[in-house]
Chains A and B, each alone.
Chain A
């Protein structure tokens, strides 16, 4: 028996910069996790994943990552995704510096 579907976001790395990006509901790639489309249905997740993976000149490493709703939008569930959404912990580099 299949378990309940955990909500997902579509994420990837920007082809040119390598920066982490998220697919938004209006088909943009955002650098902010909170702007990602939170997908709650498995079939929809597959569709969005295929849509994203076709954008070979924009992104690489397209995949689904677990997420949950938060007050400002979707939030990462796993700590790896939290680091991807923020940047490294030893320097104020990456998103935590670039996007604040």
Chain B
């Protein structure tokens, strides 16, 4: 993976020193809160409900074991022994003290990490497919491109004060695991007729208050044109994007108000103008970065142990069936470590768990770790013969839950348990659903199902693209939960459809129960997934299950 150059290291350390001075001046009164707030936000430091929160970027979700150990150390030393992995491949610490933050940032700099541009109206952490560099269906590892974008966008003078925040996601596979269609810019790699790799460029996707699926502005962009093209998009947005209304400032609204055709024309014009200025430095840099992402030296060894364990141990088999994905090397597997043990907080890992994951990555995983937007940890390169040992170690640390892609593998934002913007809680709703279906031992029978929960309309929990989406709201001083159905965050992305009136906090679990009962009753076979069933039947049977009294009233 990419290691910081001397330039990166000096830049990050200079920012840490600068912020240490700013904190000192805030504490001695030289800076007012109004002056300090934008400075702390530029360094990822928020003030939440109960405490400060530090949001640390994990560029394209990639970590090495040293970084993971350092995150664990920070959790133990300056927080309450855990960290929260988010849907943007960041980690958030929920309890830092203001005066400790410079020391935390310094500890992050020691391992080539920082919290820069994790807030504010700039290009945020560039996210990528969490199976990058490992997936069997991948055309090319998307991370070199993501790293190029990170270097280009960090402290880019033209794009520090955009109309609003800006999120870019990249996938190197035709199968979209990075939700590219719900980002300001989504880049999906594909090949043209000549077999050359390039990108489908999607602009103007986003969830939040006004959910929109992005529009294709270029069906095929050659790789060499990527940086000038992304710069062209940002330039057009920087000029046209609305600064008069925060709620209309994202590029999705710019695209909506300008029209896709006109927006495309403006981007192409700007691209034609700036393309000649890119004379190859970016490509030379990309080539250097690509070399840093060379695949590991895969082992060539028998995999018989894996087959034997799989046949003999039902617990191992259940885990292997749900938590492993196809690796491009048939002797290897991609391991998704679930951070969704039933009843635990989605996305949380303790310092001990982080250290264990770092050890496992070092011993069995070619020293690579990934964080997924689905709030799990990935060991992308594990030889199949090592899987029984990895599984045994994970089980010991309560990390062996066999539920990836199932009903208890829930995305949940921090919600009103932590977030100052939230209008209702998310985490306990996720905990209740997971516990309930685990107690019924139903989740493997229910099969693939993505539940995503947000505690406010900003939709950090991606509820619009959940097969079942749950949105927590404040209705006259009481928590109320709206359900959407049929959402999809992959290459066939769809915004979910609202089922009807919301449910009270204590009614949301029974409501989810009725949806699942309806699904199990109407699916054509155990192989028809929830999403397939919904697409076949539409909202009708689910609405009837959710609101049985309404049907009775209509009949009366």
A interface secondary structure, majority = loop
Which residues of A78-100 are within 8 A (CB) of B?
78-80, 83-84, 87-91, 93-95
Q: Are A90 and B428 in contact (CB under 8 A)?
A: yes
Query: When the two chains form their complex, are residues A89 and B32 in contact, meaning their CB atoms are under 8 A apart?
Result: no
CB within 8 Å of B: which A39-58 residues = 56-57
A9 at the interface (CB under 8 A from B): no
The reply to whether B431 and A20 contact each other, CB–CB distance below 8 Å, is no
Q: Are A93 and B95 in contact (CB under 8 A)?
A: yes
How many Å lie between the Cα of A55 and that of B284 in the bound state?
54
**Is residue A60 contacting chain B, with contact meaning CB distance below 8 A?**
yes
Asked if A24 CB lies within 8 Å of chain B CBs, one says: no
A84 and B478 within 8 A (CB): no
B428 (CB) vs chain A CBs: closest residue: A89
Interface size class of B (residues with CB under 8 A): 20 to 34
Question: Does A83 contact B416, Cβ atoms closer than 8 Å?
Answer: yes
Please state if A16 and B417 are interface contacts (CB–CB under 8 Å). Answer: no
Q: A49: shortest Cβ distance to chain B, in Å?
A: 15
**Judging by beta carbons under 8 Å apart, are A13 and B478 in contact?**
no
Count chain A residues whose beta carbon lies closer than 8 angstroms to a beta carbon of B.
Answer: 25
User: Residue of B at shortest CB range from A15?
Assistant: B98
Q: Known contacts A16-B99, A18-B98; decide if A78 and B477 are in contact (CB<8 Å).
A: yes
Question: Which stretch (B47-55, B155-163, B306-314, B440-448) binds chain A?
Answer: B47-55
User: Contacts A56-B29, A88-B418 given: A19-B477 contact, CB under 8 Å?
Assistant: no
Complex Cα gap A16–B47 (Å): 11
B303 to chain A, nearest CB (A): 40
Chain A residues with CB below 8 A from B49, complex form: 20, 80, 83-84
Closest chain B CB from A57 CB (angstroms): 5
Q: Is the CB of B425 within 8 A of A56?
A: no
Known: A16-B98, A20-B50, A56-B32. A77 touches B428 (CB 8 A): no
B47 contacts across to A, CB distance below 8 A: 13, 18, 60-61
Q: B97 at the A/B interface (Cβ < 8 Å)?
A: yes
Output the nearest chain B residue to A77 by Cβ-Cβ distance: B477
Query: A79 with B431: in contact, given A18-B50, A18-B51, A60-B33 (CB under 8 Å)?
Result: no
Do residues B27 and A79 form an inter-chain contact, with CB atoms below 8 A?
no
Contacts of B478 in A (CB 8 A): 79
Please measure, in the bound complex, the distance between the C-alpha atom of A56 and the C-alpha atom of B32, giving whole angstroms. 7
With both beta carbons as reference points, the residue of chain B lying nearest to A94 in the complex is identified as: B50
A1-53, CB < 8 A from B: 13, 15-20
> Nearest CB to that of B478 among chain A residues?
A79
Return chain A residues, CB-CB under 8 Å to B418: 88
Query: Are A89 and B427 touching (Cβ within 8 A)?
Result: yes
Complex alpha-carbon distance, A70 and B474, angstroms: 24
* Residue numbers in B under 8 Å from A13 (CB-CB): 47
* A88-B417, A90-B428 given; A18·B97 CB < 8 A: yes
In the assembled complex, B76 has its CB within 8 A of some CB on chain A: no
Q: How far is the CA of A89 from the CA of B417 in the complex (A)?
A: 6
CA distance A19 to B49 in the complex (A): 8
> Are B417 and A15 in touch, CB under 8 angstroms?
no
Within 8 A of A (CB), among B75-108: 80, 95, 97-99
Q: How far is the CB of A7 from chain B (nearest CB, A)?
A: 15
- A–B pairs, 29, beta carbons within 8 Å: A15-B26, A15-B27, A15-B33, A15-B98, A16-B97, A16-B98, A16-B99, A17-B51, A18-B48, A18-B50, A18-B95, A56-B29, A56-B32, A56-B33, A57-B27, A60-B33, A77-B477, A79-B474, A80-B474, A83-B49, A84-B49, A88-B427, A89-B417, A89-B425, A89-B428, A90-B417, A91-B80, A93-B95, A94-B51
Enumerate the 9 nearest inter-chain pairs by beta-carbon distance, A residue then B residue, closest first: A88-B417, A18-B51, A18-B52, A90-B427, A94-B50, A90-B345, A60-B33, A89-B428, A57-B29
A positions within 8 Å CB-CB of B: 13, 15-20, 56-57, 60-61, 77-80, 83-84, 87-91, 93-95
13 A-B pairs besides A20-B49, A95-B50 with CB distance below 8 A are A15-B26, A16-B99, A18-B51, A18-B52, A19-B51, A78-B477, A79-B479, A83-B425, A84-B49, A84-B50, A88-B417, A93-B50, A93-B95
